[in-house]
Copies of this chain bind each other. A is one copy, B any other.
């Protein structure tokens, strides 16, 4: 990454190392992943956000953290820290990725998304102070669309104490380890297959293996909505599956049976390399595994299910943990 090559490595802090009264701030891009992928993230925006937040509180930012552990938003805070000379906290607000900004453990902890700072690559700046985190989402999303579909934001400014209480800890190191394991899975010399290795170290449930036969996609309200359709291969030959998404995967259906829903993680990974395939990178003909992973425990509370469960996203099913659906399922081979 350019920022690290230029400025040197970034210090990763364990949440416990952050003083209780320190000001820590998640930093992210907001918008549809297809647009995020096309827009360069400039140095200027990090500095602008830093100045907006510091000025608002009359206090320096102690450290940054990722708001989510997925896509560009898992990497961007590292570059921001390198550029600004700040440490990164090993925590996020989701333990995965979600499409809307109120969908964080911080909301469950009663922490405000606002004051939220937003800036675009042209230099427009907006500060939101809203009555709920859902309103922050509404208003910031409207501005994001007007700014061309992707902007940089700093939100949920919080104390070290709040972070320790409600953050999902060790998500950066966990992501790093998972990445290392994926890169080396084919070099394993024991009796297990790469697939077995992958399912083991990623603690995933194998839900399907197939070839992408269709991708239905719509960019609406600065979100990527859609559905990917899969035709079974290997032991799944003759079966069909589909995965619905809104930026992130929401529901996996195999041969008419729901095998996983949000807030549990549904991941498509390349059948050869085990590298995750994000919703903006879905391509006809690609061979993938569909796997399910347990979400962070806090999401399984009634408040968590209300905030990010299947019904919020318009999926007509109750939340059933992926491990229960998997055990009870008939679709898995």
Contact = CB atoms under 8 A, between A and B. Distances in A.
A141 B139 CA distance: 11
Contact of A129 (B126, B130, B143): B126
A146 interface: yes
Interface in A113-170: 122-131, 135, 138-139, 141-143, 145-147
A308 B174 CA distance: 57
A123 B131 contact: yes
A129 B127 CA distance: 9
Q: Using C-beta atoms within 8 Å of the partner chain, give the interface range for chain A.
A: 10 to 19
Contact of A130 (B125, B128, B135): B125
Contacts of A139: 124, 126, 143, 146-147
A147 B136 CA distance: 11
A275 B146 CA distance: 38
A122 B135 CA distance: 10
B125 A128 contact: yes
A58 B147 CA distance: 29
B124 A129 contact: yes
Nearest to A124: B130
A138 B146 contact: yes
B130 A127 contact: no
Interface string A211-244: 0000000000000000000000000000000000
Given A124-B128, A139-B143, A141-B146, 5 more contacts: A122-B131, A124-B131, A124-B135, A126-B126, A142-B142
